[in-house]
Amino acid sequence: MFKGILIHKDDQGYRAALQDIDPALLPEGNVTVRVAHSTLNFKDALAITGQSPVVRKFPMVPGIDLAGTVEHSEHPDWQVGDAVVLNGWGVGEAHWGGLAQRARLNGDWLVPLPPAFSTAQAMAIGTAGYTAMLCVLALERHGLKPGDGEVLVTGAAGGVGSVAVALLARLGYRVVAVTGRPQEADYLQQLGAAEVLERAAFSSAGKPLSKERWAGAVDTVGSHTLANVCAAMRYRGVVTACGLAGGMDLPATVAPFILRGVTMAGVDSVMCPRADRLLAWQRLATDLDVDKLALITQHIGLAEAIPMARRLLDGQVRGRVVVDVNA
């Protein structure tokens, strides 16, 4: 038996509980991983609380991230003892995920754990940090350079935003952070933000075009925030859109795109091709100051993940939550 969080939906309702799980119940897969650490992401919190229909099959072990060691493999790329990381691929939604001590997976979903990181550090990065790196790669792919001007990061005190601030600052960009939690200004400046702005200036309807300011942007919020960011982009600026914390709508006009040549690049981390995942983790190993992870991260045990899920949805958690599934 191994311990894990299991979500049920039946005649008794929707519930998540920490329980002992029979290994015979593990889903199909050609690699079994002994999980060392997982994380608690926004999507995991939605799954645990049932606040949004994230889970597609029941029962389900949540957890869209995991890091651990291969325990059994029928996949040609993986041997027993290999250290691996998994992000996304519908794990924790349609396939049992990382908030348990064992996971059985498709080996194609795994990437090697970079030697630069422990399993705990890899999960301090997690899907949030890997998504932030994908955003940085998208900005670079569209030609953005540190000398081009300021880069804005919205939702900056969250997981994606925190890592994006740290990455961009270390790469030499002047980073401006937007947050709805002004008490986190010192934290964001420690990560490398040159300036911190309050979310209120971005969260309501604005003009189709505003004064040009941002050369690049990483938006995790969507809705009016993303529309206002687009409106204030400099000529041929680049916006990466990777989140919807503020809503799925986009109440914008085409003006920034047809009058200023602004590019909006969508960033998806769930089904991202393997080659891009490998590049993102390689770049994280070289471009992320691991000392910053201590600022970004709090550590909890598996039993604490369920109550922490509600706090995360209520906006009471900053940065990243690493879950030691064996604690």
Select from 3.20.20.70, 3.40.50.1100, 3.40.50.300, 3.90.180.10 the CATH code of 2-113+290-324. Answer: 3.90.180.10
Tens of pLDDT along 57-79? 999 999 999 999 999 999 999 99
The predicted pLDDT at position 318 comes to 84
Percentage of residues in the chain having pLDDT higher than 90: 93
The predicted model gives 276-297 an average pLDDT of 95
The predicted pLDDT at position 79 comes to 98
Q: Which of 252, 250, 254, 212 is nearest to 233 (CA)?
A: 212
Provide the mean pLDDT of the chain. Answer: 96
Helix, strand, coil shares, percent, the chain, to 5? 35, 30, 40
The predicted pLDDT at position 33 comes to 98
Tens of pLDDT along 189-212? 999 999 999 999 999 999 999 999
Q: Where in the chain is the domain with CATH 3.40.50.720?
A: 127-266
Tens of pLDDT along 78-112? 999 999 999 999 999 999 999 999 999 999 999 99
Q: Where in the chain is the domain with CATH 3.90.180.10?
A: 2-113+290-324
**pLDDT class of 245 with cuts at 50, 70, 90:** confident
**pLDDT class of 243 with cuts at 50, 70, 90:** very high
**Residues near 320 by beta carbon (within 8 Å), at least 6 away in sequence:** 39, 123, 124, 125, 126, 128, 129, 159, 162, 163, 293, 296, 297, 298
Q: Is the pLDDT of residue 306 over 90?
A: yes
The predicted model gives 147-170 an average pLDDT of 96
Q: So what's the architecture of 127-266 in CATH? A: 3-Layer(aba) Sandwich (3.40)
Q: Is the pLDDT of residue 315 over 90?
A: no
Q: Which of 104, 86, 88, 108 is nearest to 96 (CA)?
A: 104
The predicted pLDDT at position 157 comes to 92
**pLDDT class of 224 with cuts at 50, 70, 90:** very high
DSSP string covering 167-180? HHHHTT--EEEEES
The predicted pLDDT at position 316 comes to 86
